[in-house]
Amino acid sequence: METNMDRRGFLKGAALGTAGLVAAGALAGCSQPAAAPAEKDDAALADTSTPSTGYNSADQQWAFEVAPEAIADDQVTGTEEADVIVVGGGMAGMVSAASCAENGLKVILISASTGPVSRGGSNNGVYSKVMKDMGIERMDPTWFYRMQYAANGGNFKPALWYKFYNHSEEAINWIIDIAANAGIKTTIESGPVYKEGDPMYTPTAAHAFYVDDEELHGAIGNGEGYIAAELGRYLAEDLGVDVRWGVKAEQLVRGGVPNGTEGRVDAVLATDGANGYTKYVGTKAVIMATGDFSHDKDMMEKYCPQAVELCDFTTEVNYDQGIWMGGLMPGDGHKMELWVGGAWQKEPNNIMLGRPNLPGDQPYTSHTGLMVDNQGQRFMNEDVLGGFACATIMHLPEKTGYCIWGQNRAEAGGPWGAINYAHGEYFTTQEVIDRWDNDTDGFNIVKADTREEVIAQLGLPAETIETIERYNEMCAKGEDTDFYKTADKLIPIGEGDGPFYGAAFTPGFLTSLGGLRNDEHLRVLDANDQPIEGLYNAGCMIGNFYSATYTFAMEGMNYGACCITLPYVLGQELASGELDA
């Protein structure tokens, strides 16, 4: 649709700038893409008794839910066996494999990518040796997790969050040491400034990797590739893991039968595209870490209909895809698990959106100045975390909000933190103005000498000036009687406050999160909430961890929890035998 292409063109110039990239990419899932999306079969297309969108509709069957014909024995040209088979070469898969191998298990890792895959990345750890050295306190989960419970509407599995908290320090220190041994350094990212107890409070805990020979300013939070590459080397060379790149999983084997629905999952059938299929047998476990499902239109229509318009389903799968807005992977791992009897999570699937975070805003927040819709009307309290702002903007016409501000905001609103900067670093007032003037972060910022000119350049109705004047009146009184934004964020946009700036913002979509049900040990569950023996999830595939909208309340939560800590603990639990039936 033309409007979608126009929006996507804007995203490439705006949300994919430095500020837009990291908020989404740094926290994104970390596994391989998969095959092209399936089309609904004739029965599904003809079925008008149920809606064509909505999540987890029990009465509607889609083509992706129907298992394909089982791969025949005569197509299998070889068998490989290990204690654990890991499917996926992103951070989640590699951490799973490393933890298993360090604890004495024989591991084979297969991945459709040609090498380690990473995006971003911010890695949340509730405490670490780096935080201690920097004088940053450990986050207190008592009240903060209760606040997150409310933010997620209770639609998640708290046991997974507390498991992350209890093991995070050990896991993040483990990966910090792996990085250090390769000359990769770790620091903590800059975060928004909210007081403890504020519903938007974000604990400072996002770990970022970097190396000495790069320009750090603006690069913090984009260094996941360093540690991903080192993990790939560490697996193969130091731990002796059998790593096979360019090998794509196709079907799980349950009860000895491809796509079987009873018994234990003990193998996966995969191909390198040239030599038929190999059966990879995992005597203890098969761990699926194949990433999200946002490149499959049917799956998005069923489980994340609110984000379908933001996705691009026309591009070919790139198994080595890094940060990219518009959807990433087609959910092959999810499909394989559905085919063997896995059940979808009960809560709505989470979506990760980019934020309207312009230069001069705190990292991971919304634009905290004036925002209006396409009719020039204010529509929200702008002082919220970016995920919440994006969720609100998604309800607007064309899913677009418009930011308007004056140059006076650079001084009146500081000090300014910055995404991609280390903790404690700030922009000066002049640096903020320079970034606006030069559109350094690629947000298609418009600039003019008058507010009316900015309104016109944004394509907004002339009546928008009335909204600005009302906003100014509330700023003068120090009280927002429309949406009750705190007085410190009420910075006027008066005639003498020019030059003036504006920018349009449509949320960028990076990834879907979750899928099949999991217990606190990452075991995949069936429709009766019973574990399917031998089958585990890691990374974006972990179900029950999030609900609704990725809030950015814990920067790097997806990497830190789902791709590092929980897979790290899974390796320990598998090796200990405590998960054996």
Q: Are residues 166 and 284 in the same domain?
A: yes
Write out the two tokens for 173.
């220190």
Cβ neighbours around 445 below 10 Å, total: 24
Q: Are residues 339 and 362 in the same domain?
A: no
Pairing type for strands 76-87 and 277-288 reads: parallel
**Locate tokens 């088979």: which residue?**
85
Which secondary structure element, helix H or strand E, spans residue 474, and what is its range? helix 464-477
In degrees, rounded to 5, the angle at the alpha carbon of residue 210 between the alpha carbons of residues 209 and 211 is: 140
Q: CA of 522: how far to CAs of 131, 160, 545, 565, in Å?
A: 28, 9, 10, 12
Write b or e for each residue in 170-191: b if 16 or more Cβ atoms lie within 10 A of its Cβ, otherwise e: ebbbbbbebbeeeebbbbbbbb
Residue 429 has, within 13 A of its CA and on its CB side, a CA count of 9
Q: Burial of 482 by CB count in 10 Å (0-12 exposed, 13-18 middle, 19+ buried)?
A: middle
371 backbone dihedrals φ, ψ, rounded to 5° = -130, 140
Asked if the structure places residue 68 within a domain, the reply is: no
Q: Which residues contact 45 (CB under 8 A, 6 or more apart)?
A: none
Q: Give the residue from 480, 505, 530 where a domain finishes.
A: 505
Q: Are residues 31 and 165 in the same domain?
A: yes
C-alpha 124/C-alpha 561 separation (Å) is 7
> Is the separation of the CB atoms in 538 and 562 below 8 Å?
yes
* pLDDT at residue 358, rounded to an integer: 63
Q: Are residues 299 and 415 in the same domain?
A: no
> Is the separation of the CB atoms in 564 and 91 below 8 Å?
yes
Asked if the structure places residue 279 within a domain, the reply is: yes
* pLDDT at residue 40, rounded to an integer: 37
Asked if the structure places residue 56 within a domain, the reply is: no
Closest CA to 186 of 167, 159, 163, 205: 205
Q: Give the residue from 451, 483, 505 where a domain finishes.
A: 505
Q: Are residues 471 and 554 in the same domain?
A: no
Which residues in the chain show pLDDT less than 70?
1-60, 217-218, 355-360, 581
Asked if the structure places residue 48 within a domain, the reply is: no
Asked if the structure places residue 67 within a domain, the reply is: no
Q: Which residues contact 146 (CB under 8 A, 6 or more apart)?
A: none
In SS3 terms, 25-59 reads as HCCCCCCCCCCCCCCCCHHHHHCCCCCCCCCCCCC
Helix axes 158-181, 566-576, angle to 10 degrees: 90
Closest CA to 417 of 438, 406, 431: 431
- CATH number of the domain that residue 314 is part of: 3.50.50.60
Closest CA to 561 of 149, 23, 27: 27
Q: Give the residue from 505, 532, 551 where a domain finishes.
A: 505
Q: Are residues 185 and 151 in the same domain?
A: yes
C-alpha 504/C-alpha 498 separation (Å) is 19
* pLDDT at residue 353, rounded to an integer: 87
C-alpha 525/C-alpha 175 separation (Å) is 29
Query: What is the extent of the structural domain holding 474?
Result: 355-505
Q: CA of 458: how far to CAs of 376, 444, 505, in Å?
A: 10, 10, 11
Q: Are residues 403 and 441 in the same domain?
A: yes
Tell me the per-residue pLDDT of 236-281, one tens digit each, with 9 for 90 and over.
999 999 999 999 999 999 999 999 999 999 999 999 988 899 999 9
Cβ neighbours around 499 below 10 Å, total: 16
Helix axes 224-233, 158-181, angle to 10 degrees: 80
Coil, strand or helix at 102: helix
Write b or e for each residue in 315-330: b if 16 or more Cβ atoms lie within 10 A of its Cβ, otherwise e: eebebebbbbbbbbbb
> Is the separation of the CB atoms in 560 and 207 below 8 Å?
yes
* pLDDT at residue 359, rounded to an integer: 56
Which amino acid does the sequence have at 63? Answer: A
- CATH number of the domain that residue 413 is part of: 3.90.700.10
* pLDDT at residue 7, rounded to an integer: 29
* pLDDT at residue 581, rounded to an integer: 58
Asked if the structure places residue 57 within a domain, the reply is: no
Which amino acid does the sequence have at 530? Answer: Q
Write out the two tokens for 117.
């895959």
Closest CA to 427 of 454, 445, 409, 443: 409
Count of domains observed in the chain = 2
Closest CA to 279 of 271, 291, 288: 271
C-alpha 290/C-alpha 319 separation (Å) is 10
Tell me the per-residue pLDDT of 176-200, one tens digit each, with 9 for 90 and over.
999 999 999 999 998 888 888 898 9
Q: Are residues 443 and 340 in the same domain?
A: no
Q: Are residues 385 and 295 in the same domain?
A: no
Asked if the structure places residue 60 within a domain, the reply is: no
Asked if the structure places residue 497 within a domain, the reply is: yes
> Is the separation of the CB atoms in 532 and 254 below 8 Å?
yes
**Locate tokens 């024989």: which residue?**
106
C-alpha 177/C-alpha 129 separation (Å) is 10
Q: Are residues 437 and 498 in the same domain?
A: yes
Write out the two tokens for 234.
């560490």
Q: Are residues 359 and 392 in the same domain?
A: yes
Q: Are residues 395 and 259 in the same domain?
A: no
215 backbone dihedrals φ, ψ, rounded to 5° = -75, 115
* pLDDT at residue 58, rounded to an integer: 52
* pLDDT at residue 347, rounded to an integer: 87
Distance of CA 375 to the CA centre of its chain: 31
Q: CA of 215: how far to CAs of 17, 212, 220, 519, in Å?
A: 17, 8, 9, 42
C-alpha 451/C-alpha 406 separation (Å) is 8
Q: CA of 156: how far to CAs of 40, 151, 184, 475, 515, in Å?
A: 29, 10, 35, 39, 12
Q: CA of 489: how far to CAs of 17, 275, 365, 474, in Å?
A: 24, 62, 13, 11
C-alpha 248/C-alpha 555 separation (Å) is 31
